[in-house]
Structure 1
């Protein structure tokens, strides 16, 4: 599969996708994030992956669907209709799915879903990404 770090500029500690599973360029993408105890955001006071980081993972996946070469940058522009339905804890594999709804003049509007097992933990009605290239 494609090396994620050659497509999107994110690096540790803000690269939120561990691996791409499938992609239909310009239409949708599937990937995952394995949550470990070593993540910088896992603490005694916060034992799960923050919802904002999961939404960021969906946005990175969205940028990946329309960015196919180095030199393009995807920026999270706006969010709408975010539902937090559960949490991801160390040991969980967060399965990510992003589907493009519209792509106009570099603005990609899509929707996303994050699951742990069969349970949806985040649902996003609209994630807009601006791709500059």
Structure 2
């Protein structure tokens, strides 16, 4: 697995920070239309401590958030949206096929389907060992950064 972007480079591009930062590397960029990012899961993740602690699994909402972060990175790396921020406008048809557990390597895929102005749609899916664990569709909105 070739790493195209590491944690430091990703954090320079998107605003997410601990405890809600879920990308460890980028392994694939294609024509500003597709990205594959990776999240390596360890038992040290804070959510494993409280979400079914006797049967630890990553909450589905956080898998969707990780997919959104990968998509945000793809969107914000495009020349058209430099210096902007990507927001989730909608999540549709989210399906969770299997659990994601400590020790898993979660591959996060995001394909832009259409962009019109500052609004777009995308298909996203997450895999572990080549098996789909989650899939959904996003509507995203690109806007100015909020003041912090």
Fold match (TM-score > 0.5) = yes
Deviation for aligned residue 1:46: 5.9
Structure 1: segments with no counterpart, 5+ residues: none
CA distance 1:25–1:16, shift in 2 (3 Å): farther
1:65 aligns to 2:74 (yes or no): yes
The aligned residue for residue 76 of structure 1 is 88
The aligned residue for residue 87 of structure 1 is 99
The aligned residue for residue 34 of structure 2 is 28
Q: Provide the C-alpha distance between the structure 1 equivalents of 2:55 and 2:86, rounded to a whole number of angstroms.
A: 29
The aligned residue for residue 131 of structure 1 is 142
Tell me: higher relative CO, structure 1 or 2? Use CA pairs within 8 A at least 6 residues apart: 1
Larger proportion of helix: 2
What's the TM-score, normalizing by structure 2? 0.83
Structure 2: segments with no counterpart, 5+ residues: none
* Secondary structure at the counterpart of residue 115 of structure 2: strand
The aligned residue for residue 19 of structure 2 is 13
Deviation for aligned residue 1:26: 2.5
The CA RMSD over aligned residues, in Å, is 1.6
Deviation for aligned residue 1:80: 0.5
Which ranges of 4 or more aligned residues in structure 1 deviate by more than 6 Å? Answer: none
1:116 aligns to 2:128 (yes or no): yes
Q: Provide the C-alpha distance between the structure 1 equivalents of 2:46 and 2:89, rounded to a whole number of angstroms.
A: 25
Q: Which structure would you say has the larger Rg?
A: 2
